[in-house]
């Protein structure tokens, strides 16, 4: 664990209750977010990325249960904080969230101005004039024209809506921003614009950040650290440069080989064979072994523990003992 961490997740287990049993979506996950850094979380769909985000922001669906673990923000376990206090003092004010789909957050029957004002008044005691000044400055920061304030969400493009959400997330100058696949469903040009806005605001305001995506190439350009998830488990994590230059887990290696590289045009892209495991009844031992080209007998019997191979690089694989 890192002493300067603004957020520490320790042994988090978040399961979903179904008729067939509990889906172990996040199963004993631990990692830190160093203050002022960007931690990227990557993995296939169903690996537990969004469940971690929802656990931190305390917006899990009704059938979700946090079975064990701690989520410590500035040294306090937010899982033990009363919901009213969390909503008033932490959610959006100290920890904010940029969700995957902007329309999930923007109310279609209210103008953008009213929704931004509501966010401010729910957490801060200030006049409408002061709030509007804050909003205007925020819209300028995300390169939006002021006439957006009098529009409804359906009158905006996808890129404009996403920038409104970024403005909302940063209105109250939070200390930690969670971006959950913020460029999903946007074309590549708009994606680049959104990433530049996020990167510039991060450098200017010095907030810490969790950036969630399935796109490792994207994380290479924005994150300081990377956490690789597979089937609800952390399989590798470390500084971005270390993980990219010396990937140690077979899953990480295969993920990187699936990324197109213009410097290696003659090399064929490699997919990952098989399918993710059933998380109601995950395989014994390593959850990746049914798909792993390097699997050994011990992988079927014993679950590998996360070990450090350098002060900032960790891997959970029997090959690395």
Q: Domain for residue 24, yes or no? A: yes
Structure tokens at 18: 């179904």
Q: Domain for residue 277, yes or no? A: yes
pLDDT attached to residue 296? 95
Q: Which residues of 48-72 are buried (b: 16+ CB within 10 A; e: fewer)?
A: bbbbbbbbbbbebeeebebeebbbb
Do residues 267 and 118 both lie within one domain? Answer: no
Provide the domain limits for residue 27.
5-94+175-320
Domain end point (choices 121, 155, 173): 173
For residues 261 and 281, what is the distance between their CA atoms, to the nearest angstrom?
37
Do residues 9 and 66 both lie within one domain? Answer: yes
- In residues, how long is the chain? 321
Picking from 215, 187, 221, the residue whose alpha carbon sits closest to that of residue 202 is 221
Q: Domain for residue 128, yes or no? A: yes
For residues 211 and 98, what is the distance between their CA atoms, to the nearest angstrom?
9
Domain end point (choices 173, 196, 216): 173
pLDDT exceeds 70 at position 212: yes
Confidence of residue 111 (pLDDT cuts 50, 70, 90): very high
Question: Count of CB atoms within 10 A of residue 86's CB?
Answer: 19
Do residues 227 and 138 both lie within one domain? Answer: no
pLDDT attached to residue 287? 96
* Residue 41 near residue 212 (C-beta atoms within 8 A): yes
Confidence of residue 264 (pLDDT cuts 50, 70, 90): low
Do residues 135 and 246 both lie within one domain? Answer: no
pTM to 2 decimal places: 0.92
What element of type H or E holds 52? helix 49-57
Q: Domain for residue 99, yes or no? A: no
pLDDT attached to residue 104? 65
Q: Domain for residue 279, yes or no? A: yes
Do residues 43 and 58 both lie within one domain? Answer: yes
Residue whose tokens read 């694989």: 317
* Residue 153 near residue 105 (C-beta atoms within 8 A): no
Structure tokens at 104: 């999930």
Q: How far is CA 149 from the centre of its chain?
A: 28
Do residues 272 and 194 both lie within one domain? Answer: yes
Picking from 218, 210, 228, the residue whose alpha carbon sits closest to that of residue 183 is 218
Number of structural domains (the chain) is 2
Do residues 235 and 116 both lie within one domain? Answer: no
Say if residue 194 is exposed, middle or buried (CB neighbours under 10 Å; 0-12, 13-18, 19+). Answer: buried
pLDDT tens per residue across span 268-303: 777 788 899 999 999 999 999 999 999 999 999 999
DSSP character string of 96-117 = EEE-S-GGGTS-TTS-HHHHHH
CATH number of the domain to which 47 belongs: 3.40.50.300
pLDDT exceeds 80 at position 118: yes
Q: What share of the chain is helix, strand, coil (3-state, %, to 5)?
A: 35, 25, 40
pLDDT exceeds 90 at position 192: no
Confidence of residue 216 (pLDDT cuts 50, 70, 90): confident
Picking from 200, 181, 180, 223, the residue whose alpha carbon sits closest to that of residue 33 is 223
- Non-local (6+) Cβ contacts of 129 within 8 A are none
Confidence of residue 263 (pLDDT cuts 50, 70, 90): low
Q: Domain for residue 232, yes or no? A: yes
In the chain, the N- to C-terminal Cα span, in Å, equals 20
Q: Which residues make beta-bridge pairs with 278?
A: none
Do residues 222 and 147 both lie within one domain? Answer: no
pLDDT exceeds 90 at position 70: yes
Do residues 308 and 185 both lie within one domain? Answer: yes
The proportion of the chain whose per-residue pLDDT surpasses 70, expressed as a percent, equals 95
Do residues 18 and 89 both lie within one domain? Answer: yes
For residues 227 and 313, what is the distance between their CA atoms, to the nearest angstrom?
10
pLDDT attached to residue 1? 45
Q: Domain for residue 269, yes or no? A: yes
How large is the average pLDDT for residues 167-176?
A: 94
pLDDT tens per residue across span 42-61: 999 899 999 999 999 999 99
* Residue 212 near residue 180 (C-beta atoms within 8 A): yes
* Residue 100 near residue 53 (C-beta atoms within 8 A): no
Domain end point (choices 173, 204, 233): 173
Do residues 43 and 168 both lie within one domain? Answer: no
Question: Dihedrals φ, ψ of 80, to 5°?
Answer: -100, -5
Q: Domain for residue 167, yes or no? A: yes
Do residues 89 and 114 both lie within one domain? Answer: no
Say if residue 246 is exposed, middle or buried (CB neighbours under 10 Å; 0-12, 13-18, 19+). Answer: middle
The proportion of the chain whose per-residue pLDDT surpasses 90, expressed as a percent, equals 78
For residues 39 and 211, what is the distance between their CA atoms, to the nearest angstrom?
6
pLDDT attached to residue 259? 72
Confidence of residue 262 (pLDDT cuts 50, 70, 90): low
């Amino acid at each position: 664990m890192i002493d300067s961490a603004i957020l520490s997740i320790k042994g988090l287990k978040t399961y979903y209750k179904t008729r067939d049993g509990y889906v172990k979506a996040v199963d004993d996950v631990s990692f830190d977010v160093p203050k002022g850094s960007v931690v990227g979380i990557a993995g296939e769909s169903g690996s537990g990325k969004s469940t971690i985000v929802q656990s931190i922001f305390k917006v899990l669906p009704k059938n979700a249960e946090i079975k064990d673990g701690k989520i410590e923000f500035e040294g306090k376990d937010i899982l033990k904080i009363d919901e009213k206090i969390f909503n008033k003092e932490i959610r959006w004010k100290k920890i904010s969230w940029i969700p995957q789909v902007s329309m999930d957050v923007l109310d279609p029957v209210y103008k953008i101005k009213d929704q931004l004002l509501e966010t401010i008044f729910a957490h801060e005691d200030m006049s409408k004039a002061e709030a509007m000044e804050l909003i205007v400055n925020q819209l300028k920061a995300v390169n939006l024209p002021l006439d957006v304030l009098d529009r409804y969400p359906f009158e905006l493009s996808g890129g404009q809506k996403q920038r409104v959400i970024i403005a909302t997330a940063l209105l109250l100058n939070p200390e930690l921003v969670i971006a959950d696949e913020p460029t999903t469903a946007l074309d590549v040009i708009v994606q680049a614009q959104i990433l530049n806005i996020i990167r510039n605001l991060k450098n200017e305001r010095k907030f810490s950040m969790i950036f969630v995506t399935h796109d490792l190439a994207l994380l290479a350009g924005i994150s300081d650290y990377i956490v690789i998830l597979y089937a609800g488990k952390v399989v590798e994590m470390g500084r971005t440069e270390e993980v990219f230059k010396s990937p140690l887990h077979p899953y990480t290696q295969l993920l990187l080989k699936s990324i197109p590289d213009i410097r290696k045009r003659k090399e064929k892209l490699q997919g990952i064979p098989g399918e993710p495991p059933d998380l109601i009844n995950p395989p014994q031992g390593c959850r990746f072994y049914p798909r792993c080209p390097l699997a050994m007998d011990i992988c079927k019997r014993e679950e590998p523990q996360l070990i450090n191979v350098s002060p900032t690089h960790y891997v959970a694989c029997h090959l690395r003992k």
